[in-house]
Amino acid sequence: MAFISRIHLAAVTLVLASVLGACRRDESVETPTPLAVPFQSTISDSLVAATVEFGGKVDTLYASAFRDNLNRLQALFPEVMQDEARSLPIRQEMVRQYVLEQLLMQEAQRRGLKADSAMVAAEMERYRSRFDTEDDFLRELEEIHQTESDLRSQFMSTISRDALVQSIEDSLARPSPKEVEEFRKSHATRLRVQHILIGVPEEASPDDLEASRKRATQLADSLASGQPFAMLARNHSDDPGSRVSGGELPWFRRGEMVPEFEKAAFELVSTGDFTRKPVRTAYGYHLIRLLDRQEDDAIDADSAQVLLTKRRVRAAHEELQRRLVSQTIVRTNPAFVPPPATPLPSDE
């Protein structure tokens, strides 16, 4: 199956987003929480970048297609791609996205939901109609380093994925009135916090991970001794989006941050309270301090119904991906894609 070339934009968005954007969750089920995909670096064939084995079928990401996408990234983000340390997690993310793309396409096909050529052609025509002339359309493709074949592949994937997500939603029970009411009340509370992030790079070794945890723990000790949170955030936080403001983040409600961050933040009771131990997320270790808590009017029942349903669909979508990945063998060629970092060690 062809490599969906436009996923390089998703990869760059994910890897280069500010930590604030990464900690904040998207209510869209099309962009679930990043799911770890284990790689086995066992391919030595110079023509192959990666393979995905699932259900007796093997999909191949050829080196030529992988290089084409790297070239597109080079044209769009030259400074990033010329830096080996910054481009490595992007290459890993491209393979991760490829793996998930193949698995979801296979699942959609298994359920009889895969887009047919007529649906793709209709979507292509709608896209083309946005432009006044054919030259404008072709110029747009050139600017985003795409071909018509790339677009057709993208639309095939998008239509199939949307149908799969809709089938998941159709299979779920509707939230009960009691669940909707509890959801409304939980969303009436919003917080404003500061945070310090000690980030963990994708290529970190186990020793690097432990060093990051110890660094975060030392900062927690400094806070306990009375040192100002804002000063420590400005001097030590790895979050460029909030560091300049002393680690301050915008107001948020439940469901808007990654679960580990949210749980720790909402457990803080009084203004000035802070987490005594570093909070681990996929992005590293956080220290969090409560600045303010407000109780607003609860959202209306219709909005609560929509948000709660969307959250359940997203959770079911993520669970489906985890199940598919657990049955998958991913092999990569280390000449193109070194394996991801060892997962963060458990604090338990």
Q: Above 90 in pLDDT, residue 145? A: no
| pLDDT for the residue numbered 73 | 83
Architecture (CATH level 2) of domain 189-295:
Roll (3.10)
Banded pLDDT at 339 (limits 50, 70, 90): low
pLDDT tens for 288-333 read 999 999 987 778 889 889 988 988 998 899 899 999 999 999 999 9
Closest by alpha carbon to 68, among 54, 55, 49? Answer: 49
Q: Above 80 in pLDDT, residue 58? A: yes
Query: Which of 15-19, 120-124, 235-239 is predicted least confidently?
Result: 15-19
Banded pLDDT at 41 (limits 50, 70, 90): confident
Q: Global pTM?
A: 0.67
Which of 28-32, 49-53, 202-206 has maximum average pLDDT?
49-53
Which of 71-75, 90-94, 233-237, 253-257 has maximum average pLDDT?
233-237
Q: Where in the chain is the domain with CATH 3.10.50.40?
A: 189-295
More reliable by pLDDT, 247 or 203: 247
Q: Above 90 in pLDDT, residue 8? A: no
Banded pLDDT at 21 (limits 50, 70, 90): very low
Q: Above 60 in pLDDT, residue 342? A: no
